[in-house]
């Protein structure tokens, strides 16, 4: 990310460190420790005035601060030229998100349709997410925080959604021509209806419908639930369709009749998401092939919960390329204007 003139060197370096840890799916504890260190140093700079962190660094006093360990010290010393920049340099090299046969598709992407911010369970403010998306070459980012039912993820009530729409308007004035499109990842309820009133669904540029609870219900029920949801004229994208997790706390996929679901996606112009999160990799290859047989639209989405995770679209591009997907089958190869008018 481009540092802004107002950001002191320690902050640029720590932000970059956190960005790189995020893109490598580093343990949450480690990322939190850097985030906490950043907050502590921001306080030092605020209380002591500009240059306070640099002064502490020169004096070798950083680790005397509670919550600032040797890794943070090493990054900050590097930022002020007091020590080597190895820590950050090694991280830059070891966390590169590779791109293979999907390079052409990646170059064709104009935006990302699935992202979270601190409005729900994301780790960064929408402004930081937008700035990162812009620096990756995107023309737009769709803000799709969680709906109210997902209380563990601080899902948005309609009141908070209205506030978010205000913030998006302000940010868009600042970021133009880059755009933040409005959206939500709305929970698909047990009967296939959506966790947001119709009038609100109609106001949003992009609506993702996702299942987040009762994932392993009986297949006939799940099939009907998904078909009902994707047939809803407000739903534009079916998010992470199987809900499987292939890393960490693994989770077996939902069981449903994918022919019915993808036929409905094709019939009602609902895109099937290629969710790029490394622990999801959803849909599995065989289901992607089936979605292609039904001629479904696709959307290659990072589902980023932090700026560095926006780079994960590379994984989905590689996966799509292996399955022979063409750029015009992908929703987010369209410009923001085309996308909005297509989905309205």
Beta strands in 169-323 (DSSP E): 179-187, 206-210, 237-238, 271-275, 298-301
Under rule CB under 5 A, residue 112 binds Zn ion: no
How many Å apart are CA 187 and CA 167, to the nearest integer? 23
Is 154:195 a contact under the CB 8 Å cutoff? no
**24 vs 210, which CB is nearer to Zn ion?**
210
**78 vs 183, which CB is nearer to Zn ion?**
183
Q: Tell me the two tokens of residue 76.
A: 């900050």
Residues 6+ apart with CB under 8 A from 264: 226, 227, 230, 231, 270
Interacting residue with Zn ion among 303, 311, 319, 330 (CB under 5 A)? 303
Other Cβ atoms less than 10 A from the Cβ of 50: the count is 10
Which is it for strands 179-187 and 140-143: parallel, antiparallel or unpaired? parallel
Is 45:14 a contact under the CB 8 Å cutoff? no
Give the nearest distance from C-beta 249 to Zn ion in angstroms. Answer: 15
Site stretch for Zn ion (CB under 5 A), options 44-52, 100-108, 255-263, 300-308: 300-308
Is 91:20 a contact under the CB 8 Å cutoff? yes
Would you call 118 helix, strand, or coil by DSSP? coil
Site stretch for Zn ion (CB under 5 A), options 53-61, 198-206, 210-218, 335-343: 210-218
Site stretch for Zn ion (CB under 5 A), options 3-11, 24-32, 41-49, 202-210: 202-210
How many Å apart are CA 141 and CA 332, to the nearest integer? 10
Query: x/- binding map, residues 151-190, to Zn ion, per CB under 5 A?
Result: ----------------------------------x-----
Q: Tell me the two tokens of residue 265.
A: 């996606």
**263 vs 331, which CB is nearer to Zn ion?**
331
Is 274:319 a contact under the CB 8 Å cutoff? yes
**74 vs 314, which CB is nearer to Zn ion?**
314
How many Å apart are CA 274 and CA 300, to the nearest integer? 5
**171 vs 184, which CB is nearer to Zn ion?**
184
Under rule CB under 5 A, residue 73 binds Zn ion: no
Give the nearest distance from C-beta 35 to Zn ion in angstroms. Answer: 20
Nearest CA to 181 out of 299, 58, 102 is that of 299
Q: What are phi and psi of 46, to 5 degrees?
A: -75, -45
Site stretch for Zn ion (CB under 5 A), options 65-73, 160-168, 283-291, 298-306: 298-306
Other Cβ atoms less than 10 A from the Cβ of 199: the count is 8
**114 vs 179, which CB is nearer to Zn ion?**
114
Give the nearest distance from C-beta 10 to Zn ion in angstroms. Answer: 32
Interacting residue with Zn ion among 117, 210, 270, 333 (CB under 5 A)? 210
**303 vs 318, which CB is nearer to Zn ion?**
303
Under rule CB under 5 A, residue 205 binds Zn ion: no
Give the nearest distance from C-beta 292 to Zn ion in angstroms. Answer: 22
Give the nearest distance from C-beta 90 to Zn ion in angstroms. Answer: 30
Give the nearest distance from C-beta 333 to Zn ion in angstroms. Answer: 21
Q: Which residues bind Zn ion (CB under 5 A)?
A: 185, 210, 303
């Amino acid at each position: 990310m481009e540092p802004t003139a107002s950001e002191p060197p320690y902050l640029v370096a720590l932000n970059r460190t956190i960005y790189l840890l995020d893109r490598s799916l580093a343990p949450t504890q480690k990322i939190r420790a850097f985030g906490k260190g950043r907050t502590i140093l921001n306080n030092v700079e605020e209380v002591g005035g500009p240059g306070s962190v640099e002064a502490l660094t020169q004096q070798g006093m950083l680790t005397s601060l509670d919550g600032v360990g040797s890794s943070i010290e090493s990054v900050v010393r590097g930022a002020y030229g007091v020590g080597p920049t190895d820590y950050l340099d090694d991280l830059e090299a070891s966390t590169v998100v590779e791109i293979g046969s999907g390079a052409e598709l990646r170059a064709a992407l104009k935006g990302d349709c699935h992202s979270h911010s601190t409005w729900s369970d994301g780790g960064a403010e929408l402004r930081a997410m937008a700035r990162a998306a812009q620096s990756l070459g995107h023309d737009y980012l769709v803000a799709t925080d969680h709906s109210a039912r997902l209380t563990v993820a601080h899902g948005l009530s309609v009141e908070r959604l209205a506030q978010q729409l205000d913030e998006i308007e302000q940010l868009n004035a600042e970021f133009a021509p880059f755009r933040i499109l409005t959206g939500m990842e709305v929970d698909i309820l047990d009967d296939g209806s959506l966790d947001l009133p119709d009038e609100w669904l109609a106001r949003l540029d992009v609506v993702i419908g996702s299942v987040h609870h009762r994932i392993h219900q009986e297949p006939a029920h799940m099939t009907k639930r998904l078909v009902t949801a994707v047939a809803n004229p407000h739903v534009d994208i079916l998010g992470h369709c199987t809900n499987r997790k292939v890393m960490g706390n693994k989770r077996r996929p939902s069981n449903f009749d994918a022919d019915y679901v993808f036929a409905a996606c094709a019939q009602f112009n609902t895109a099937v998401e290629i969710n790029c999160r490394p622990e999801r990799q959803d849909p599995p290859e065989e289901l992607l092939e089936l979605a292609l047989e039904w001629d479904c639209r696709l959307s290659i989405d990072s589902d980023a919960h932090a700026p560095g995770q926006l780079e994960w679209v590379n994984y989905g591009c590689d996966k799509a390329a292996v399955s022979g997907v063409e750029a015009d089958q992908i929703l987010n190869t369209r410009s923001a204007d085309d996308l909005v008018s297509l989905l309205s």
